[in-house]
């Protein structure tokens, strides 16, 4: 049943957004299939199967022997090429990184038709589609490297050309790449933008225009994705492709982990206590004890199959609690300055009384000058008895002439 024209028009923006998300997150495989003489082999059947989930994609080569398979999730694949008259060629261990366009070429041999040629080594995937420059941090690095604070920013420091900068209200990006401003980086998780208008101080900044990543209360990037749920990420530092053209800084594509046919999980706990730390220098110079500094960082992840080769699940949880205090010197007014401040406050109250009286009287003249208010303890009962109107401003009435 065809869709009505209005409903079909309403679905076009959603389809365009979905295509953009897939272009930013998923990978693509291209290549050429040739014979031993170097001539193109058309109509060769190519099958691509994920070694982790069993996800399968099939295609055939064009007349010039080329093929292209898009929308592939990052992971490890095996590829099979079949063509009548040639033996089947099987290639294992084809690794695809997040947001990568890789090229894998095949050369069919003239051997026995009932033979299957298996290539165990992973080919060198060369990006010939664009001139982007960057780095890829895989899961092996995340698990084996001693990451300080278990944060994403420490891994970003390993990228050539990146320099960590202090976060300020004007530039809260926390790092710069190739001289670009720290607030010009674009972050995406599984193809979805995670840039927001939050500054380092935690206040919303509409002027930011979504040029900053969504940071947590500590100013870190734990709110994007925890390291236990991060599969890999790619950071492109220059000459990026057209689909990454929103901001001129680094393009950071984060890929989260997913479930597979094997049940796997992990638990972790990191802590810090002031008993194992050195005392603060300023506190030590004034013979003060250690201030409370306690960090508790715990979490875990669990993934596996719901139905093998069909449906999978993956769960991750992270809890970060920090109690931290600081010691510093700050100038305070001495006793004489505080006394002078008190005298100034009394004078200010007297001036405010005159201003209040003048505002009540308006622009009318006063027959006799106003006197400052007199406190009760300064009154002398014999000469000037107390009166209910003693504190009220006195304003004389000005006679008004009525028309002749």
- Best-predicted range by mean pLDDT among 82-96, 172-186, 335-349, 388-402? 82-96
What stretches of 114-172 show up as alpha helix (H) in DSSP? 139-144, 152-156
Same domain, 168 and 309: yes
Tokens of 249: 């800084």
- Kindly state whether residues 94 and 162 are assigned to the same domain: no
H-helix or E-strand containing 24? helix 5-25
- Supply the pLDDT for residue 24: 44
Q: Alpha-carbon distance 36 to 368, whole Å?
A: 118
Share of the chain above pLDDT 70, in %: 67
Claim to verify: residue 80 and residue 17 sit in the same structural domain: yes
How far apart, in whole angstroms, are the C-alpha atoms of residue 301 and residue 317?
A: 6
CA distance 132 to 239: 5
What pLDDT, in 10s, does the model give residues 190-232? 888 888 755 444 444 444 555 667 776 666 777 788 888 998 8
26 shares a domain with 57: yes
Residue 270 has pLDDT above 90, yes or no: no
Same domain, 384 and 317: no
- Using the predicted structure, report yes or no on whether residue 20 has a pLDDT greater than 60: no
Report if residue 126 sits inside a domain: no
Residue 19 has pLDDT above 50, yes or no: no
pLDDT higher than 60, residue 173: yes
CATH number reported for the structural domain that contains residue 72 in this entry: 2.60.40.1120
Q: Is there a domain that residue 194 lies in?
A: yes
Higher pLDDT, 110 or 111: 110
Specify if 336 maps to a domain.
no
Among candidate residues 232, 187, 227, 203, the one with its CA nearest the CA of residue 73: 232
pLDDT of residue 42: 93
Instruction: Based on the fold, state whether residues 316 and 389 are members of the same structural domain.
Output: no
- When divided into structural domains, the chain yields a total of 3
- CA-to-CA dists, residue 121 to 75, 95, 105, 110, 322, angstroms: 16, 11, 14, 21, 46
Residues 140 and 254 placed together within one structural domain of the fold:
yes
Nearest to 197 by CA among 186, 183, 211: 211
* Token pair belonging to 129: 């589609």
Residue 94 resides in a domain: yes
pLDDT recorded at residue 361: 53
Q: Which residue has the higher pLDDT, 381 or 280?
A: 280
Distance separating alpha carbons of residues 20 and 393, to the nearest angstrom: 74
Each as own residue / partner, the long-range contacts of residues 217-223 (CB below 8 Å, 24 or more positions apart, any chain) are: 218/320, 218/322, 219/167, 219/172, 219/174, 220/149, 220/151, 220/152, 220/153, 221/151, 221/152, 221/153, 222/150, 222/151, 222/152, 222/318, 222/320
Same domain assignment for residues 114 and 156 = no
Residue 250 lies in a domain: yes
Distance, CA of 211 to CA of 194 (rounded, Å): 10
Highest mean pLDDT out of 75-84, 103-112, 273-282, 380-389: 75-84
**Partners of 78 in the beta sheet?**
49
Task: Name the percent of the chain in helix, strand, coil, to the closest 5.
Answer: 20, 30, 50
Cα–Cα nearest to 107, from 60, 57, 77, 65 = 65
**Whether residues 75 and 157 fall in one domain:** no
Please say which residue of 94, 119, 144 terminates a domain: 119
As a whole number, the mean pLDDT across the chain is: 75
Q: Is the pLDDT score of 45 beyond 90?
A: yes
Strand pairing partners for 188?
Answer: 193, 253
Look up tokens 């038709």; give the residue: 113
Does residue 333 lie in a domain region?
no
Task: Report pTM.
Answer: 0.61
The answer, yes or no, to whether residue 97 has pLDDT greater than 50, is yes
Q: Please check whether residue 185 lies inside any domain of the structure.
A: yes
Q: Is the pLDDT of residue 363 over 90?
A: no
Is the pLDDT confidence value at 392 over 50? no
Share of the chain above pLDDT 90, in %: 13
CB atoms within 10 A of CB 259: 19
**Are 288 and 151 in the same domain?**
yes
Question: What's 195's domain CATH number?
Answer: 2.170.130.10
Written as six digits, the tokens of 357 are: 């009286």
- Structural domain including 38 reads 5-119
pLDDT at 339 over 50: yes
User: Is residue 152 domain-shared with residue 289, that is, in the same domain?
Assistant: yes
Q: How far is CA 256 from the centre of its chain?
A: 14
The verdict on residue 24 lying in a domain is yes
Q: Do both 196 and 293 map to the same domain?
A: yes
Query: Beta strand 75-82 with 27-34: parallel, antiparallel or unpaired?
Result: unpaired
Residue with the bigger pLDDT between 88 and 174: it is 88
């Amino acid at each position: 049943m065809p869709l009505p024209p209005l409903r079909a028009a309403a679905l076009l923006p959603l389809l365009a957004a979905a295509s953009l998300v897939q272009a930013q997150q998923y990978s693509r495989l291209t290549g050429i299939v040739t014979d031993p003489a170097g001539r193109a082999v058309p109509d060769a059947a190519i099958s691509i199967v994920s070694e982790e989930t069993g996800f399968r994609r099939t295609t055939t080569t064009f007349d010039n022997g080329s093929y292209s398979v898009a929308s592939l999730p990052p992971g490890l694949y095996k590829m099979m090429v079949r063509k009548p008259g040639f033996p089947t060629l099987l290639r294992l261990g084809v690794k695809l990184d997040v947001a990568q366009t890789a090229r894998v070429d095949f050369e069919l041999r003239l051997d026995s038709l009932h033979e299957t040629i298996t290539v165990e080594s992973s080919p060198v995937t060369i990006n010939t589609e664009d001139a982007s420059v960057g780095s890829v941090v895989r899961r092996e690095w995340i698990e084996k490297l001693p990451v300080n604070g278990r944060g994403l920013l420490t891994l970003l420091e390993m990228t050539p050309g990146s320099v960590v900068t202090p976060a300020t209200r004007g530039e809260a990006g926390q790092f710069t790449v190739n001289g670009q401003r720290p607030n010009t980086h674009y972050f995406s998780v599984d193809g979805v933008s995670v840039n927001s208008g939050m500054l380092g101080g935690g206040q919303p900044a509409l002027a930011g225009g979504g040029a900053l990543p969504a940071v947590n209360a500590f100013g870190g990037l734990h709110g994007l994705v925890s390291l236990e749920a991060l599969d890999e990420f790619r950071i492109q530092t220059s000459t990026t492709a057209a689909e990454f053209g929103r901001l001129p800084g680094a393009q950071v594509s984060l890929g989260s982990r997913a479930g597979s046919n094997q049940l796997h999980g992990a638990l972790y706990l990191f802590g810090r206590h002031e008993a194992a730390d050195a005392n603060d220098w300023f506190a030590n110079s004034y013979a003060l004890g250690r201030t409370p500094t306690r960090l508790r960082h715990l979490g875990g992840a669990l993934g596996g199959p719901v139905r093998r080769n069909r449906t999978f699940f993956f769960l991750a949880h992270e809890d970060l609690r920090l109690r931290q205090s600081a010691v510093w010197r700050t100038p305070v007014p001495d006793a004489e300055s505080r006394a002078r401040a008190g005298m100034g406050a009394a004078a200010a109250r007297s001036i405010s009384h005159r201003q209040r009286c003048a505002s009540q009287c308006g622009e009318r003249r006063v027959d006799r000058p106003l006197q400052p208010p007199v406190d009760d303890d300064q009154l002398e009962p014999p000469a000037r008895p107390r009166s209910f109107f003693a504190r009220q401003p006195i304003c004389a009435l000005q006679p008004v002439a009525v028309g002749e």
